[in-house]
Amino acid sequence: MIRFIAGKLGAVLVTLYLALTGAFLLGRLSGDPVTNILGPFATREQADALRATLGLDRPLIVQYLDYLASTAVGDLGDSLQFYQPNLGMIFDRLPFTFQLLGAGMVLAILAGVPLGVLAATREGGLWDRTASALAVLGQSVPVFWLGMMLVAVFAVRFGLLPAGQAGGWRNLVLPALTMAMYPMAHIARLTRSAMAEVLREPYIAAVRARGLTGWRVVFVHALRNASPPVLTVVALQTGMLLSGAVAVEYVYSWPGLGSLALQAIQFRDFPLVQAIVVVGAVSFVVINLIADLLYAVVDPRLR
């Protein structure tokens, strides 16, 4: 198990290094930040002074090494737009994004797993076809369009729920439903596929022959063996939701990390964009590391 964990930690470090390097290069390729800040009518002296203040007059390799060293000690720089430390602003917004992410994934798991189990236990029947149609629909509907339709129906037409903004639990319902739709469909399809395969195994027939009831066969013996691939897709979908939160937070004016990233991109605030990418990458690899460890606990053959 120690060797397994060490291997995973090594993969995490490589992934983080590549993410940091990618964020640095993208920040430098998005245009001259000095021109973006001062505008086209700034004098050469003004541009040179600001470039020296930001450290952009140094060789690129020096900037890169300084960026890696600063990031390693938790210094993600200051925002060019807000004149505040990036890390502080990110930590102010991160709880809102995690709140939305957590609510969306809980809804996706609570709906997707039972839907997949139901479809697998009634393979080829009406429930199976209905669940498959819902899963295809959930994966086909664009998140942006779904968000606007939910606002139009439940907030504008019937006035049942707020159209957005952070607040009480009612403000969270529509954004969480929007976030949950795509991963719910993916989880339902994978659960259905994994459960159907496990239910055809000879040991399931042996368990049934011992006289165990149907729900015990499904939930105690079959679902546990079908859960490793479902855990993997839950982790992957959580990471994808983290990167896809921009659209949902924009539709619902949610004050999370996605909204902050959008503001930073519009202003070409490359230090803030880099910092958000770093935090997003760390969150993504941590989520996947936890999933891999759970995967090994559920299926000891992977250790």
Residue 302 has what pLDDT? 58
43: its two tokens? 């004098």
Residue 110 has what pLDDT? 92
Q: Give pLDDT tens digits for 62-118.
A: 888 888 888 888 888 888 878 888 888 998 988 898 888 889 989 999 998 888 888
Main-chain dihedrals φ then ψ at residue 85, nearest 5 degrees: -60, 130
pLDDT band at 17 (very low <50, low <70, confident <90, very high): confident
| 119/189 Cα distance (integer angstroms) | 9
Residue 105 belongs to domain with CATH number: 1.10.3720.10
Q: Across residues 19-38, what is the average pLDDT? A: 75
| 106/6 Cα distance (integer angstroms) | 30
Residue 101 structural domain: 94-298
Q: Is residue 7 assigned to a domain?
A: no
Distances (CA, A) of 91 to 234, 246, 253, 258, 289: 24, 16, 18, 13, 22
Task: Give me the amino acid identity at 183.
Answer: P
Q: Which residue has the tokens 């998140």?
A: 143
* pTM > 0.85: no
| 252/175 Cα distance (integer angstroms) | 7
User: Of 66, 87, 108, which one is at a domain's C-terminal end?
Assistant: 87
78 shares a domain with 133: no
Burial class (CB in 10 A: 0-12, 13-18, 19+), 99: middle
Which of 232 and 13 is assigned the larger pLDDT? 13
Q: Is residue 236 assigned to a domain?
A: yes
User: Of 38, 58, 87, which one is at a domain's C-terminal end?
Assistant: 87
User: Of 87, 103, 124, which one is at a domain's C-terminal end?
Assistant: 87
Give the count of domains, the chain: 2
| β partners of residue 167 | none
Q: Give pLDDT tens digits for 151-206.
A: 889 888 888 888 777 777 888 889 999 988 888 988 888 888 888 888 888 877 77
215 shares a domain with 167: yes
> Residue 121 pLDDT more than 80?
yes
37: its two tokens? 């800040």
223 shares a domain with 155: yes
Q: Phi-psi category of 268—alpha, beta or left, where left has phi over 0 and alpha has psi -120 to 50? A: left
Task: Give me the amino acid identity at 82.
Answer: F
Buried-state track 222-242, b at ≥16 Cβ within 10 A, e below 16: bbebbbbebbbbbbbbbbebb
Answer for the pair 166, 254: CB distance below 8 angstroms, yes or no: yes
Buried-state track 253-280, b at ≥16 Cβ within 10 A, e below 16: ebbbbbbbbeebeebbbbbbbbbbbbbb
136 shares a domain with 224: yes
Q: Is residue 199 assigned to a domain?
A: yes
Q: Is residue 99 assigned to a domain?
A: yes
| 129/257 Cα distance (integer angstroms) | 38
* Percent of the residues in the chain that have a pLDDT greater than 90, as a whole number: 2
Answer for the pair 119, 159: CB distance below 8 angstroms, yes or no: no
> Residue 6 pLDDT more than 80?
no
